[in-house]
Amino acid sequence: MSPSQVAHRTLPVARRTLKLTIAYDGTPFVGWQRQARGASIQGLIEDALRPIEGGPVAVHGAGRTDAGVHALGQVASFNFTASIEPARLRRALNTILPFEVRVLDAEEMPGDFHARFSAKGKVYEYRIDDASIASPFLRRYTWHVTPALDVDAMEVAAGALRGTHDFAAFQGSRTNVHSTERTIHRLEWSRGPGPRDPLVMEVEGNGFLRHMVRNIAGTLVGIGHGKWPPGEIDRILASRERAKAGATAPPQGLFLKRVLY
Amino acid sequence: MSPSQVAHRTLPVARRTLKLTIAYDGTPFVGWQRQARGASIQGLIEDALRPIEGGPVAVHGAGRTDAGVHALGQVASFNFTASIEPARLRRALNTILPFEVRVLDAEEMPGDFHARFSAKGKVYEYRIDDASIASPFLRRYTWHVTPALDVDAMEVAAGALRGTHDFAAFQGSRTNVHSTERTIHRLEWSRGPGPRDPLVMEVEGNGFLRHMVRNIAGTLVGIGHGKWPPGEIDRILASRERAKAGATAPPQGLFLKRVLY
């Protein structure tokens, strides 16, 4: 430790709370959360902050994205004592971090802000490449699905998922939550104007169970392939049984788009 | 060799000419052309065709894209004796090739068709990410350029390049062509409707010198940054000196979009 750091750490220091908005390409990572092996986004950010703080920093993400899942606007918060300005901190982090992780914004927050506990909701996108031949440029960022989908049927089924429901049938295993009730405020399928734009499911809710967005996407694709009629979605919800719903859509189609506060 | 292959190869066989339309993500490759070391697109396709033909196949590309350059519609041709139908050949190749290379189409052609010598022109795109913070999702497919560009000045300069000119000033080194005159039929800057869509230069011409599109993109970015006024492009063209033009834009922003016959 340098003399200036010793002096700094023996004085009473102001405890700050900072918020980061982060985009990442999840392809090369083990997921948001730090693991014993492999590069995680949380681990990279904590490691980048450590020399700036002159000590360990615990970074909390709004959601723990799985391996291969991407983010357009993940949010993280942490307590900090170093006096660096937010805009300079953002630039410093983007210099240290690999290009797959970009800090889009850094903001000073009130002391009670917490990326996860303060969140009121989240917006996810699930992207599907439904062209007969998979685009090499979309392969890391979509689920390639053939044959052609009945998007009208998927839209009808999506309507039954909007609102407040017990989503136990769409919950992944290895979870331990006290309630499986969640509210979906918005759930829409759309496609951009480009000839090769993917089919996108955008879903906004007050919270999501583990694998819930991917299980919804997998089930709606099953409906789009005529495996079930659109009305089956009500029976799947009512069953509360994971086995009744469709397959878990693969991680690379999923994007955490925005966290709502 | 199996008995059926021996029988096949001792009979007089029909010599076919086939045309492939190919998309590829150039990131992991040494370029189109087969090299002593590293994976090339030409090499992968030749290697994939060999067991189908039961012998070596020489594949000719319309253009030799450099390492890291992408294709939305590269065209290749080859002579072949195996009797496999074009649609089945396309599916077989897509099963063998890595996902970064996709055969979009396979067609039977007249015997005098040659991907390179029959081409009447080509269309390229050069894509630029001009947002202040580079998108992790565009990093492999754009040139990230800051500070903000004066796109109007770049449009004006682009106008001076349209038509028939001696493009010697925009020619890369290590070339040996008998004429440096080329015709640019179209050269336009545009941007898609999405909030994070890149800035795109689309250029159509009867032929392109080595590095010509990347040297044009680099020079127009210099003009967009105020390094030169738009009118400087006429003096650069007239000079016929590579040193007068701007830097060669990096390969990952370049896409061979279409070959014209």
Q: Which amino acid is at A250?
A: P
Q: Which of A104, A139, A141 shows the shortest C-beta gap to B99?
A: A139
Distance in Å, alpha carbon of B67 to nearest chain A alpha carbon:
16
Using the predicted structure, report yes or no on whether residue B3 has a pLDDT greater than 70: no
Q: Which of A101, A102, A136 shows the shortest C-beta gap to B99?
A: A136
pLDDT tens-digit readout, A29-38: 999 999 999 9
Check residue B1 and give its pLDDT: 47
Question: What band does B11 get if pLDDT is binned at 50, 70 and 90?
Answer: low
pLDDT tens-digit readout, A72-87: 999 999 999 999 999 9
Q: Which tops the pLDDT comparison, B174 or A56?
A: A56
Q: Which residues of chain A does B192 touch, with a Cβ-Cβ cutoff of 8 Å? A: 193-194
All domains in chain A, ordered by first residue? 3-109 (3.30.70.580), 121-260 (3.30.70.660)
Torsion angle, CA of A71/A144/A138/B20, rounded to 10 degrees? 170
Residue A173: φ, ψ to 5°: -75, 180
Whole-Å CA distances, B79 to B29, B85, B87, B112: 24, 14, 16, 10
CA-wise closest residue to A151 among A183, A190, A184: A190
Q: Which of A25, A104, A141 shows the shortest C-beta gap to B133?
A: A104
Q: Which tops the pLDDT comparison, A257 or A176?
A: A257
Q: Which amino acid is at B151?
A: V
Distance in Å, alpha carbon of B193 to nearest chain A alpha carbon:
8
pLDDT tens-digit readout, B154-167: 999 999 999 999 99
Using the predicted structure, report yes or no on whether residue A260 has a pLDDT greater than 50: yes
Using the predicted structure, report yes or no on whether residue A96 has a pLDDT greater than 50: yes
Q: Which residues of chain B does A252 touch, with a Cβ-Cβ cutoff of 8 Å? A: none
CA-wise closest residue to A228 among A178, A154, A168, A123: A154
Q: Please indicate whether, in this complex, the C-beta atoms of A137 and B70 are within 8 angstroms of each other.
A: yes
Question: What band does B10 get if pLDDT is binned at 50, 70 and 90?
Answer: low
H or E element that contains B20: strand B16-24
Residues of B annotated as catalytic are 66
Longest dimension (CA), chain B: 70
Q: Which of B99, B102, B133 shows the shortest C-beta gap to A102?
A: B133
Pairing of β A16-24 and β A101-109: antiparallel
pLDDT tens-digit readout, A8-20: 555 566 899 999 9
Chain A interface residues facing chain B, Cβ-Cβ under 8 Å? Answer: 23-25, 70, 94, 99-104, 133-137, 139, 141, 192-194
Q: Please indicate whether, in this complex, the C-beta atoms of B135 and A104 are within 8 angstroms of each other.
A: no
Instruction: Find the closest chain A residue to B141 by CA distance.
Output: A137
Check residue A12 and give its pLDDT: 60
What is this model's ipTM?
0.88
Check residue B174 and give its pLDDT: 65
Mean pLDDT for all residues in chain B: 94
Distance in Å, alpha carbon of B136 to nearest chain A alpha carbon:
5
Size of interface A-B (CB pairs under 8 A): 49
Q: Please indicate whether, in this complex, the C-beta atoms of B136 and A194 are within 8 angstroms of each other.
A: no
Q: Please indicate whether, in this complex, the C-beta atoms of B99 and A134 are within 8 angstroms of each other.
A: yes
Q: Which residues of chain B does A137 touch, with a Cβ-Cβ cutoff of 8 Å? A: 23, 25, 70, 141
Question: What band does A196 get if pLDDT is binned at 50, 70 and 90?
Answer: confident
Instruction: Find the closest chain B residue to A95 by CA distance.
Output: B133
Q: Which amino acid is at A14?
A: A
Q: Which of A24, A94, A136 shows the shortest C-beta gap to B100?
A: A136
Sign of CA dihedral B171, B176, B181, B182: negative
Chain B interface residues facing chain A, Cβ-Cβ under 8 Å? Answer: 23-25, 70, 94, 99-104, 133-137, 139, 141, 192-194
Check residue A178 and give its pLDDT: 85
Number of H helices, E strands in chain A: 6, 10
- Global pTM reads 0.91
